[in-house]
Amino acid sequence: MDPISQAMASTKEYFATAASLAASVILVRTVINNFLPADLRRLIWSLVSEVISKLRSRLSNTRTIIIENHHGLNYNEIFDAAMNYLGDKIPPTVRRLRVSKNKNDNHIEITIADGEVQTDNFEGAQFRWRLHTKLQNQSKDHDNGHRSAKKNQWFELTCNGKHEDIAARSYLNHILDESKVIKAAAKTLRLYINNQNHWKNRKFENHWIPMELENHWTPTKFQHPMTFDTLAMETELRQMVEEDLTRFMKRKEYYKRIGKAWKRGYLLHGPPGTGKTSLIAAMANYLRYDIYYLDLKEVRSNNTLQILLLHTSNKSMLVIEDIDSSTVMQKREEEVEVKTSSRVTLSGLLNFIDGLWSTSGEERIIVFTTNHKDRLDPALIRPGRMDVHIHMGYCSPSSFRVLASNYHGIDEHPLFREIEELLGKVEATPAEIAEELTRRTDADEAIDSIIKLLHRKRKTSE
């Protein structure tokens, strides 16, 4: 038989086999649908679908990873990270988006809608994402008679089989890291203040014992606009602080390896008006950390102090301003013998800084400010408690130039040289210079007022 005849015979045989198989499938389907109970039919088709799915996955080289929004009773961190990551990289090909906004945040969250497909490339591999959502009825609410719905969501992450190792290791870790950066940039910072009035107490043997803390900290939005770019501070000192904070954020494994709590202490000292509070604001905005402002006068006991700390979050700054003026800051040898439950002591504060409590959280910054460093107990400011001591001095020529640029947008002026010479001879705080710049809308008038201020100060000092 010639080749053409052989090919035609094979084709006829193929179609005949296919037709016979199709007829058999139709016959089987008809029998199942007409003669079997509904429950049994569903079971059979479920098994058939599973077999087909397995055959398809074996015949193709595609791998699928399921990422659900919940892992048991806990929320799946990888699902949340994928939502943030994909929302920040949505391509024009995605037609349906989901937009949401929290009442207390300024950030608008954009994610892909249910059923949409989004592709992403990483290390030469292509990954395909599809979001699925399913609502499940929960138990009936007896108050209003309605049933609540539980939202189950999951991502199907598919890729070529040869890229499975990249997906399971490098790619997912990359998504977790990128999500942290995205979250930090969009985070609305909070300022928390402790308030003694929130405590309910009972008296026992003439001592007030805290029974319940209704609200450990009172939160409010932190909207201070200060950044390192607008901070009136010596350039080298500002860069040192910024580099130290950057290094701190990247050293989780280092602190774990050396067996120390992941925290760092900063002591800001110098005369009033030298920018200590502004530096704290710049640090918080740079780190994207919430601030816990601790007023020691509102803390009744060491026990209260410990409980307050246990209710601070990771990635936060604990700030105690003007610590030298607090009544608990007398030197330890001057402490009268009282039970620690009756009031806050310096020893209690020291334990608060680097005792066992410090292992209850991580990635924390502790900041103390003082106008008189010499009044503090050396144990309070030693390395390990206050690691970095920053002297906030009087206004320097470089600090003045930052202020002039911030307030009036001028980087050069004929009278700058005279002001810089005067700043080398008299003591003027950045706050005093800033006040003169604020009072005048005209830049020339502002510069002239600063010169007059500095001459008055020079005359007074002489």
Q: Answer whether residue 14 is part of any domain.
A: no
Quick one: 316 and 442 in the same domain?
no
Rounded-to-10 torsion of CA 287, 290, 294, 300? -140
Residues 180 and 197 in one domain: no
Distances (CA, A) of 232 to 335, 399, 401, 422, 450: 39, 4, 8, 17, 16
Q: What is the pLDDT of residue 210?
A: 45
Please give the residue that has the higher pLDDT: either 137 or 37.
37
Q: Are residues 207 and 239 in the same domain?
A: yes
Task: Please state, in angstroms and rounded to a whole number, the distance separating the CA atoms of residues 79 and 68.
Answer: 6
Residue 211: in which H helix or E strand, if any? Answer: strand 207-213
Q: Is the pTM of this model over 0.85?
A: no
Q: Which pLDDT value is given to residue 147?
A: 55
My answer on whether 113 and 261 are in the same domain is no
Mark which of 142, 162, 186 sits at the end of a domain: 186
Tell me, yes or no, whether 166 and 266 share the same domain.
no
Q: Does residue 449 sit within a domain?
A: yes
Give CA separation, 441 vs 344, 416, 447, 458, in Å. 48, 18, 11, 25
Domain shared by 246 and 374, yes or no: yes
Residue 252 lies in a domain: yes
- Is pLDDT of 74 > 60? yes
Q: Which residue has the higher pLDDT, 318 or 57?
A: 318
If one compares 104 and 64, the residue with the highest pLDDT of the two is 64
Range 391-417 average pLDDT: 93
In the chain, % of residues over pLDDT 90: 31
Res 64 pLDDT > 60 = yes
377 and 235 inside one domain: yes
For the segment 411-421, the average pLDDT, to the nearest whole number, is 93
- The verdict on residue 29 lying in a domain is no
CA dist 434 and 274 (Å) reads 11
Instruction: Give the model's pLDDT for residue 183.
Output: 80
Looking at residue 167, its pLDDT comes to: 78
* Final residue of a structural domain among 346, 371, 391: 391
Rounded average pLDDT over 92-97: 77
Domain shared by 404 and 365, yes or no:
no
Co-location of 102 and 195 in the same domain: no
The answer on 405 and 342 residing in a single domain is no
Question: For the chain, what percent of residues have pLDDT higher than 70?
Answer: 75
Give the pLDDT score at 310.
81
User: Each residue of 97-150: pLDDT tens digit?
Assistant: 878 776 656 667 777 788 888 888 888 888 889 988 887 665 555 555 555 556
Most confident of 80-84, 295-299, 396-400: 396-400
On whether the CB atoms of residues 405 and 446 are closer than 8 A, the answer is: no
Picking from 391, 413, 432, the residue at the C-terminal end of a domain is: 391
| pLDDT reading at 458 higher than 50 | yes
DSSP string, 316-374: EEEEE-SGGGSGGGS-GGG-----TTTS--HHHHHHHHHSGGGGGS-SEEEEEEES-GG
Angle formed at CA 391 by CA 408 and CA 405, multiple of 5 degrees: 10
User: Of 331, 326, 335, nearest to 370 (Cα)?
Assistant: 326
- One domain for residues 305 and 404: no
CATH number where 219 lies: 3.40.50.300
Domain that holds residue 97: 62-186
pLDDT of residue 14: 54
CB-based burial label for 141 (10 Å; 0-12, 13-18, 19+)? exposed
Separation CA 315–CA 3 (nearest Å): 77
Q: Is the dihedral of CA 445, 451, 455, 457 positive or negative?
A: positive
Looking at 40-49, 327-336, 409-418, which range is the least confident one? Answer: 327-336
| Three-state DSSP class for residue 428 | coil
Confidence of residue 442 (pLDDT cuts 50, 70, 90): very high
Q: Confirm whether 41 is domain-assigned.
A: no
Average pLDDT over residues 222-240: 92
Under DSSP, the state recorded for 259 is: T
- Specify burial of residue 341 (Cβ count, 10 A radius: 0-12, 13-18, 19+): middle
The pLDDT value given to residue 298: 83
Question: Looking at the predicted structure, is the pLDDT value of residue 42 above 80?
Answer: no
Is residue 47 in some structural domain?
A: no
Q: What is the pLDDT of residue 101?
A: 74
Quote the number of domains for the chain. 3
The DSSP string of 132-157 is: EEEEEEEEE-TTTSPEEEEEEEEEEE
- DSSP letters, 17-32, are HHHHHHHHHHHHHHHH
- Better-scored residue on pLDDT, 17 or 68: 68
Q: Provide the pLDDT for residue 272.
A: 93
Q: Is residue 46 part of a domain?
A: no
Q: Are residues 131 and 243 in the same domain?
A: no
Does any domain span residue 254? yes
Count other C-beta atoms under 10 Å from residue 135's C-beta: 10
DSSP 96: -
The mean of the pLDDT values for the chain is 80
Place of tokens 């190792």: 165
Instruction: Give pLDDT, residue 103.
Output: 65
